[in-house]
């Protein structure tokens, strides 16, 4: 995939600007981490990783809990709102990672699709096959909006946004532990 193809997909699927900023921040974080891991002797395809990071939330809008474009941090055109609503309808019930992976496979990019579909929070239960999958998963969990934050802060934010109906419970405590284990694995490779 070329950078032009990445940008074309972002434009075609009318990724909102705040989601684009998040993806760009995740891509930067992933590439910087990937470069450090390469220096530590780990083989990583940085270009593949960067492209997957740029596209990992290509269809994030389909599983926003509420779709209120008037509350987006940036103005959005009415044609884009209509298009995004149609995507939400077409992919209703899909996780955004699965929908994006399906589109990328259909267009001949199975390697990028495989990495993107592994960035779902629950993927940590099943683990990862490649370093690119690990790095994208971890990088996404370290970027809140478009800023690097501690892992604990990002996980707490995710719980607040995705599990607001569960008061006083920690339904994902075991998964959080596994995410911290992944962080330790990555950091140990850098020592």
Assigned CATH for 3-189:
1.10.3210
User: What pLDDT score was predicted for residue 166?
Assistant: 43
DSSP state of 63: G
pLDDT lower than 50: segments of the chain: 164-169
User: For tokens 């809008």, what's the residue?
Assistant: 61
* Cβ neighbours of 69 (radius 10 Å): 17
Separation of alpha carbons 1 and 60, rounded Å: 21
Q: Does an H or E element contain 85, and which? A: helix 78-90
Paired residues of 26 in beta bridges: none
Q: Annotate 5-24 with DSSP letters as a single string.
A: HHHHHHHHTT--HHHHHHHH
Helix (H, G, I), strand (E, B) or coil at 40: coil
User: What pLDDT score was predicted for residue 107?
Assistant: 96
pLDDT in tens, 85-133: 999 999 999 999 999 999 999 999 999 999 999 999 889 999 999 999 9
DSSP state of 168: S
Q: Which of 29, 83, 91 is nearest to 62 (CA)?
A: 91
Q: Annotate 88-132 with DSSP letters as a single string.
A: HHHTTT--HHHHHHHHHHHTT-HHHHHHHTT-SGGGGGT--SSHH
Paired residues of 147 in beta bridges: 144
Whether 156 contacts 73, CB under 8 Å: no
User: What pLDDT score was predicted for residue 168?
Assistant: 43
Whether 42 contacts 134, CB under 8 Å: no
Q: Domains of the chain: which residue ranges?
A: 3-189
pLDDT, the chain, mean:
92
């Amino acid at each position: 995939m070329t950078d032009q193809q990445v940008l074309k997909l972002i434009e075609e699927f009318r990724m909102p600007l705040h989601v684009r900023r998040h993806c760009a921040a995740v891509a930067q974080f992933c590439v910087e981490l990937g470069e450090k891991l390469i220096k530590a002797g780990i083989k990583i395809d940085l270009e593949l990783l960067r492209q997957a990071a740029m596209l990992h939330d290509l269809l994030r809008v389909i599983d926003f809990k509420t779709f209120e474009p008037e509350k987006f941090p940036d103005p959005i055109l009415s044609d884009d709102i209509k298009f995004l609503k149609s995507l939400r309808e077409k992919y209703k019930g899909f996780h955004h990672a699965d929908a994006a992976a399906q589109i990328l496979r259909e267009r001949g990019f199975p390697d990028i699709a495989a990495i993107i579909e592994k960035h779902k929070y629950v993927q940590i239960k099943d683990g990862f096959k490649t370093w690119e999958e690990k790095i994208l998963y971890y990088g996404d969990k370290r970027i809140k909006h478009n800023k690097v934050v501690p892992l604990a802060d990002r996980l707490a934010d995710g719980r607040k946004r995705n599990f607001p109906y569960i008061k006083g419970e920690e339904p994902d405590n075991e998964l959080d532990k596994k995410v911290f284990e992944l962080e330790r694995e990555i950091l140990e490779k850098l020592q």
